[in-house]
A = this chain, B = another copy of it.
Amino acid sequence: MVLEFAASPKTKPPAKMSTPSPFLYSILILIVSFLCQASAIQLNGARYLGNFWSSSRTLSLRAPKYQYETKYFQQKLDHFSFADLPSFSQRYLINTQHWEGPSRSAPIFLYCGNEGDIEWFAANTGFVWEIAPRFGAMVIFPEHRYYGESMPYGSKEEAYKNATSLSYLTAEQALADYAVLITELKRNLSAQACPVVLFGGSYGGMLAAWMRLKYPHISIGALASSAPVLQFEDLVPPETFYSIVSDGFRRESMSCFNTIKESWDVINKVGQINGGLAQLTKTFHICRELESVDSLSNWLESAYSYLAMVNYPYSTDFLMPLPGSPIKEVCRKIDSLPDGASVLQCIFEGISIYYNYTGKVDCFDLNDDPHGMSGWDWQACTEMIMPMASNRTTSMFPEFYYDPKSNEEQCLKDFHVKPRPTWITTEFGGHAFKSALKAFGSNIIFSNGLLDPWSGGSVLEDVSETIVALTTKKGAHHLDLRAATAEDPDWLLDQRSSEIKLIRGWLDEHYDKKKAISAYR
């Protein structure tokens, strides 16, 4: 793990930090962006789940341990029209140290940057850095447009000014950026014959899979980790995400699951009585008095969802400093309270594992949103319409339906933009996605950990001989892409080893074919 985050109240920075630097601030933004996947739930499911960062927190970090050069490439703002628009400077990180070069047609490993600063993804995708040397591979991490330093119109302020300036923040444009960048780069390095292997996690994994689908000539294969490519329209039931989160708690303890399930009504009842909000504020150690019950519920829901995403087998500090198998710990806490303890006290103690594992937080600020409009919020209001719902049968969350209309209203209000809920399925495939891939595709790994609530929207069964699903029962959100640790369990080692073997197979096949062509000639 490269970055280390310490949760602490905003008003009380941890001793080791002096003043927040712009760099730290930008790291914060990345993480928010990354986490904003959840805000898709809010926006698309007309449900608030994106307030993870509302809790006051500051961060500390160590410098990334991976070496690379930082370069920039001029990109067209709209690849698909000839409108007279300013170009923008796309940042990319590149390491050619272990690359065996064009003469050996050595491979290029390209990570499809997702919704955040590319340095953060580079730092958190140790797998690519670790395996590159044994493949003699170049490593490239291009940044996604409108994130990090890759800002159209010269600055984030200008790029995020309004719906017009944001309008070119789309997945298709990002894919075209990657295609143009790698084509030009290979041309400049006389590396046209060097095969490209794509990597990506979460939205980046979706991009890697889509890139393979839309630009098969650009790469020879893709590892798409925790990529919910089917989390659109009605491809999977909208309850999927929350059901998987709930399963994670149910699996640990039925009484824990039931306590959480009951808690919503209790919170609502308390919230409705005189002085109820003050009472909830006190019980949950909220810094400023709650203005509504919803903000508390959303804050709790966020924690449960993120806990499921990072339910890793060993302690991490990816989103928050957390113990290994954090859901187990949360439930242990909830279940271990004495009989006299109230439901709310149980919930607070449980949630504190997530929001305050270091024990340094005195109070939580639910309305802390220093970041304003984030890129993912825009994407979730335009293309990335991932319907979410919760039903009382499978979910421990309050019941709610997916309501496209209220989602549209919210997006019109927030961004003056109308969502296109059927666009992603039209562009990349809907119900026919898998059968189209089977007939018209090859060399994609869809890797998933089944504890990850996003796994329900991904590909969990082999599509063909070369489009395969690698699932681990105990894995969570793209754990396989992270750096190796001494604590990696066997099943994780196996998963990574399968991935390496498959990638090796793609390359061997590629070189064999090339040899055959040369021999033929």
Contact = CB atoms under 8 A, between A and B. Distances in A.
A82 B163 contact: yes
A430 B80 contact: no
Given A80-B78, A167-B84, A439 B443 contact: yes
Interface in A425-460: 425-433, 435-437, 439-443
Given A167-B82, A417-B82, A192 B440 contact: no
Contacts of A79: 80, 172, 423, 427
Contacts of A432: 217-218
B83 A217 contact: no
A398 B442 CA distance: 47
Interface in A159-180: 163-164, 166-168, 170, 172-173, 176, 179-180
Contacts of A439: 216, 220, 442-443
A422 interface: yes
A371 to B, nearest CB: 21
A212 B441 CA distance: 12
A224 to B, nearest CB: 15
Contacts of A220: 439
- The size class of the interface chain A forms with chain B is 35 or more
A419 to B, nearest CB: 9
B164 A429 contact: no
Given A216-B213, A436-B217, A439-B216, A170 B82 contact: yes
Most buried by B among A173, A432, A440: A440
A382 interface: yes
A21 interface: no
Best-surrounded residue of A81, A82, A179 (most CB of chain B within 10 A): A82
A292 interface: no
A79 B170 CA distance: 10
A513 interface: yes
Interface string A65-104: 0000000000000111111100000000000000000000
A183 interface: yes
Copies of this protein in the complex = 2
B422 A82 contact: no
Contacts of A443: 439-440
A194 to B, nearest CB: 11
Nearest to A192: B431
Contacts of A217: 428-430, 432-433, 435-436
Contacts of A440: 212, 216, 440-443
B180 A426 contact: yes
A80 B170 contact: yes
Interface of A: 78-84, 163-164, 166-168, 170, 172-173, 176, 179-180, 183, 192, 212-218, 220, 382, 417, 422-423, 425-433, 435-437, 439-443, 513
Given A84-B167, A216-B439, A217-B435, 10 more contacts: A79-B172, A81-B170, A83-B167, A83-B168, A179-B427, A183-B422, A183-B425, A220-B439, A435-B513, A440-B443
